[in-house]
Structure 1
Amino acid sequence: MLYQLYEAQRALLSPFAEFASASSKLYSHPLSPLTHTPLSQRVSAGLDLMHRLSKEYEKPQFDITSATVGGVDVAVQEQVALTKPFCRLLRFKRFTDNLPALTRMKDQATVLVVAPLSGHHSTLLRETVRSLLMDHKVYITDWTDARMVPLEEGPFHLNDYVGYVREFIRHIGPQVNVISVCQPTVPVLAAVSLMASSDDVMPRTMTMMGGPIDARRSPTAVNNLAMNKSFGWFERNVIYNVPVNYPGAGRRVYPGFLQHTGFVAMNPDRHLSSHYDYFLDLVRGDDESADAHRSFYDEYNAVLDMPAEYYLDTVKTVFQDFALVNGTWEVEGQFVRPQDITTPALLTIEGELDDISGAGQTRAAHELCTGIPKSRQFHYDVTGAGHYGIFSGRRWRENVYPQVRDFIASHQAPAPKRTARKASSARELATS
């Protein structure tokens, strides 16, 4: 019922949002006589803010049409490499007729960015992709809003997410370097573990950024909510059916608007201050600051619904049972064993001020991946960075990306293969 009430509110506010937008322009357009009335700038700014607070935010586009490779601007085309019911594997294909740049691009490493399925669209990693395109061939997972997936496509569980990652790695091939940001660090580690146990294709490197590998460490407000409420509480209080006006009508989901409300509630003062600063920027005519605010909130306010099965599986597996670290996670009859991973290099990254994945949660991957030689394990703490700062913004560009770039570049030669004895031991452990 809550979802239906939300949709009714959205429908009621839609005309008001359009009215506020049109009225704001009447008080700011240079040809409008109202622009020259007293307090016109404040009236226009107030109406513009009302418009943004009441409008519906659609899925943004990546809008990446060019990249700089070795000082040369090259064209970028977004292509769909693989389509699944709940996800598209996108490739950002680069084109140029500059021979040195073309030669350089052919020799660059391939990266698969596994984006979070946690309420926001994969375009949240737009800046991550922009940076990576300077030195890599880039793929990314583009998760589908569950309300847009018809019921006949069936359910989507956390184990299905793991299966998707395995399929994407196989599709790209053994030269791939996997980067997981936030929530997908857990299913990515599971996917690679299962592939290692089965002597399947292995990525060259794994980069894990700000994820809840071991959510027991330095628990945040997000962790505490998941750990202090029962599984039944989540099923009763946050799962709703998609209304009839969407293709996925009747599908059980964790609505994006609930996730968005939770994120805002974590830092209400900061969001209130940001909107007030936006109002003042409009009054002062500071277009650059106002555009930066719009760009951030166009992304932040655009949310998607998650399949109920996947959301509830994540709560139970990651935040209540801690199945990955306890060795009890089973996928299609096979236990997830990170200790079977031996060939990929591992880099974990954490933000000093991360209030979503606490200190030590991502670093815990090193304690699980005991089969990877210490010489191929690395960790980087980002001083002064919050959760979003490790994959976007100035700290990402100046501090984190150079670390990721150099880590990937230094591990492009195939890792030494396991000896027959080691491989046999791994198989015995996997079946014990």
Structure 2
Amino acid sequence: MAPAITLAAETELSAANTGFMLICSALVMLMTPGLAFFYGGMVRVKSTLNMLMMSFISLGIVTILWVLYGFSLAFGTDSGSIIGWSSDYVGFTGIGTADLWSGYTIPVYVFAVFQLMFAIITPALISGALADRVKFTAWALFVTLWATVVYFPVAHWVWGTGGWAFELGVIDFAGGTAVHINAGAAALGVILVIGKRVGFKKDPMRPHSLPLVMLGAGLLWFGWFGFNAGSWLGNDDGVGALMFVNTQIATAAAMLAWLIYEKLRHGAFTTLGAASGAVAGLVAITPAGGAVDPLGAIAVGAIAGLLCAMAVGLKYKFGYDDSLDVVGVHLVGGVLGSLLIGFFASGKGQSEVEGLFYGGGLEQFWKQCAGVFAVLAYSLVASAILAFLIDKTIGMRVSEDDEVAGIDQAEHAETAYDFSGAGGGASRTASAPAPVAEAASKKVDA
């Protein structure tokens, strides 16, 4: 995220930048339904609606929290380099329509709504690791507590003026630490508490709709241009354009690297691999895209595609049930993208910082390590504690019978698909002309 203190103070609203940022905000909002489709296609039929709802509910809960106090905690006046607070931001009561975000030519409202979309999708990312087995009420409570205790403070550390990571010089253009490492570590913390799905490593748990997965991946890729390019909060100096280009390049490289690994390791190029590889590239370039050049973006994407493809299999080796590979893609991809800045930063993008391969030594790498492992540790521990407390009070998991029968029916009293009329029968004759329907009925009676 573009730090507010790096640009000269501006006093006039830019209609172009304001319009650009509103479009980017809408693109990032679209990513949450995209994520819902991506995850929804990866689960079994009996969990489809629950997976969709675990993303959609974040749109409701986090929006209200953000207005009430989240924006103030994340971007209010710094307190001890840990948290922010500004009473004017509570309920947005002190924000005027003509107020500009510090140092920029966009209204505070525009910055707030753009950041809101990041806050919404981050807990939704966690949900993929918990597929098939979590009570919806428990999940809603977890989202509420996690956003408050983990996301809002970490966003301040990384992007808030005065936050310790911000002041240290940790580079995170659009969310490698605050979004992806944060969500990936949280996912690991929760699944270590709630345990494995019934039948893990025994029953087939294949995606029920790969077209839905590909649709979701496409929406994510599309929305990610707003996620990344918009994080410079304008494009007057071309850095946002660099980020846009690097987003496309790294995603392409990661997808190809994943598919090549998959072909060599498993003998086939799969659609699931293509979608997963693309997402891995998007994750990895998110922190790095403003600091690297296009050749560096290829390297970041290719490395992430290869290593994330290898990492998704670790759950079988170590026995943790990360249902939809949130740890393997978002945690590992976020760590890689953040640390690789220390090697591939060109000094010609968002700052003059140069990585090891560009003559800058390892100074930035160690700064990146500090940010990466602090966020990882805090989110992992805090998320595990929250999950433990919820599990010991209202219970985190559905019953084993409900999990086996299907969490959609148990938690939502619905199913994703109605097969009752498939193949003809009454549903087909009901809409036929009366003579045809009557003849069909007599034939059946006979």
**TM-score normalized by the length of structure 2:** 0.27
Higher normalized contact order (CA 8 Å, seq sep 6+, divided by chain length) = 2
More strand by share: 1
More helix by share: 2
